[in-house]
């Protein structure tokens, strides 16, 4: 599907920048912009050209909003139309969906996101989704007397932001700055989640805390968590778009499939993803071209293909998701399996769908495949919507009663 990505605030801008760097030439990425009130944060982005970066909110004086969500909401209401016009250079009318990426605990991005979602829905007949980073508990706690907390990044959205309150240091090649105390992060996130649920077709939360390794700081994990988020965004929204001249999927995943899977009532959706390396068919191995240079690739060993498909589907379903799916249950589930065409065993995929239906309790499983002729891995994406509220989301909502 053709996706237009808008990164709002520090966290969103860095994800938009990473998408442009890693997937700028991929056909699914129809447009990408970064909007912020902070000039330093925008200036530190690497991959997005100046024409894709836009500062709004002169009232902020070129700085961040220091956690003032109400100020962010006022700026969003005042500048939503302006931000919509700033996207015109990339033909947003051609997009099949919009994805607003934002740090939910911040102010500038979180404050402006609901108004921008409303504006995009008014202008275009395409669903608007939100991908939001949940703050960690540590961000709202007072620092110890012994020194600053080590588990907060200080910017909007935790690890994805990776900047201090000023947002100046955001390049992937620069060290993370000291943490900043954000006492309002959880309350901001709760209010922003509610607002985005009202204005967006679906919300994809990303639980920073769940992805931290033992003894790992949020600032230190910034790049890795950003990579995880970008990988899942690309795996889901890029699955139905194949470069011209490559293999055609047997079950094409399109924008309507994603829309049916995640719904249009602002529900929380969860993304699971897994990969497994395989021998490419043209590698010259026993799974590739024949020993005598035959132009016909040898068939992949059936048991190896079945094992690979089963493994990635189960890992995508039961592994760490963008946010917890309580008991793995869901009203609606989407499965995408991709990789070298010779490895996409149809019976194994059908068996995987049946297993996933039992695992999630979904009445029906939507599915698609994503052949990658030159690929060297098999992957699976499992998206669940209509889930029980994750514990971390419930905790955040309870901060505002």
Going by the annotation, the residues of the binding site for GTP are: 139, 208, 226
Cα–Cα distance between 370 and 18 in angstroms, integer? 22
CA torsion 369-373-376-380 (nearest 10°) is 0
- Residues making up the annotated binding site are 139, 208, 226
Q: Which two tokens stand for residue 369?
A: 């495949």
Name the 3-class secondary structure at 248: coil
**Residues facing 130 on adjacent strands:** 100, 203
| Residues 217 and 138: beta-carbon distance below 8 Å | no
Q: Quickly tell me which residue has 């026993």 as its tokens.
A: 286
Q: Which two tokens stand for residue 281?
A: 């068919």
Name the 3-class secondary structure at 45: coil
DSSP state for residue 388 in the 8-state scheme = P
SS3 content of the chain, % helix, strand, coil (to 5): 40, 20, 40
Cα–Cα distance between 179 and 71 in angstroms, integer? 23
**CB-count exposure of residue 171 (10 Å: 0-12, 13-18, 19+):** middle
């Amino acid at each position: 599907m053709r996706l237009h990505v808008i990164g709002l605030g520090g966290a969103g801008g860095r994800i938009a920048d990473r998408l442009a760097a890693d997937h700028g030439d991929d056909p699914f990425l129809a447009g990408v912009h970064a909007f912020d009130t902070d000039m330093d944060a925008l200036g530190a982005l690497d991959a997005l050209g100046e024409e894709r970066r836009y500062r709004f909110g002169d009232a902020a004086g070129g700085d961040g909003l220091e956690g003032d969500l109400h100020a962010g909401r006022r700026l969003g209401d005042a500048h939503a139309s302006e931000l919509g016009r700033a996207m015109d250079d990339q033909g947003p009318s051609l997009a099949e969906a919009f994805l607003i990426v934002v740090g939910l605990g911040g102010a500038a991005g979180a404050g402006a996101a609901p108004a921008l979602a409303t504006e995009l829905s008014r202008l275009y007949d395409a669903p608007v989704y939100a991908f939001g980073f949940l703050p960690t508990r540590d961000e709202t706690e007072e620092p110890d007397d012994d020194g600053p907390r080590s588990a907060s990044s200080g910017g909007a959205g935790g690890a994805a932001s990776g900047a201090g309150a000023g947002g100046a240091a955001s390049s992937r090649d620069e060290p993370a700055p000291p943490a900043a105390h954000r006492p309002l992060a959880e309350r901001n996130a709760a209010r922003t989640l509610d607002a985005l649920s009202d204005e967006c077709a679906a919300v994809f939360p990303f639980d920073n805390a769940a992805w931290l390794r033992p003894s790992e700081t949020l600032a230190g994990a910034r790049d890795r968590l950003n990579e995880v988020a970008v990988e899942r965004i690309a795996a889901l929204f890029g699955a139905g778009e194949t470069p011209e001249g490559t293999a055609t999927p047997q079950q094409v995943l399109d924008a309507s499939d994603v829309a049916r899977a995640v719904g249009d009532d602002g529900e929380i959706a969860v993304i699971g993803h897994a990969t497994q390396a395989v021998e490419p068919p043209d590698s010259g191995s026993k799974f590739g071209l024949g020993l005598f240079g035959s132009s016909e690739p040898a068939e992949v060993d059936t048991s190896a293909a079945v094992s690979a498909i089963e493994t990635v589907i189960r890992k995508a379903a039961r592994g760490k998701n963008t946010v917890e799916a309580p008991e793995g249950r869901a009203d609606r589930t989407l499965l995408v399996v991709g990789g070298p065409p010779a490895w996409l065993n149809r019976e194994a995929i059908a068996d995987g769908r049946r297993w996933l239906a039992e695992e999630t309790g979904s009445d029906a499983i939507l599915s698609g495949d994503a052949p990658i002729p030159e690929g060297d891995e098999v992957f699976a994406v499992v998206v669940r919507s209509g889930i029980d509220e994750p514990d971390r989301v419930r905790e955040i909502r309870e901060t505002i009663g």
